[in-house]
Amino acid sequence: MKNKTSFSQTHKALVRRYLLWAYKTTKESFERIERKTTQLMVDEYIAKRASSEEFKAYIKAKRADELKLKFSDAQGKILHPQYVYLKNRLAAIEAAIRHFLGPHQLRIIQALYEKEMTRRILEARDH
């Protein structure tokens, strides 16, 4: 029979891995939607300095995609239920990480996620 300390450490490791997985998968889903907004902000800045018809068409298509993913109405005023769900789920997971593991571990998990996403971008060979 395992002693209580060993079980507690094992249990804490399982909780940490589950919360890490939940954070990663939810953050990825949320950012698939959210990054359209940030990409558009940058693209519109670039378009003002390097204007071309193809780039304007690209931005227009991206804006339509953003509206479809983020909002449930054509005017862009009512957030899409899936977007709201992901936003709320991410906030709840972050709260759970703080509760079970502490705020320091939340910062570590966020940094690990950011490092992994940056690595993926830098290693991508699709363009």
Q: State pLDDT tens for residues 58-117.
A: 999 999 998 999 999 888 899 999 999 999 999 999 999 999 999 999 999 999 999 999
Q: Which pLDDT score, from 0 to 100, does residue 16 have?
A: 96
Which pLDDT tens digit goes with each residue over 27-67? 999 999 999 999 999 999 988 888 788 888 899 999 999 89
Closest CA to 70 of 57, 86, 89: 86
pLDDT of residue 8: 85
Taking residues 7-27, report their average pLDDT.
Answer: 93
3 state SS for 33-99: HHHHHHHHHHHHHHHHHCCCHHHHHHHHHHHHHHHHHHECCCCCCCECHHHHHHHHHHHHHHHHHHH
Task: Decide: 80 and 16 in contact? Cβ < 8 Å.
Answer: no
If DSSP codes are grouped into helix, strand and coil, which group holds residue 32?
helix
Amino acid identity for residue 80 in this structure? H
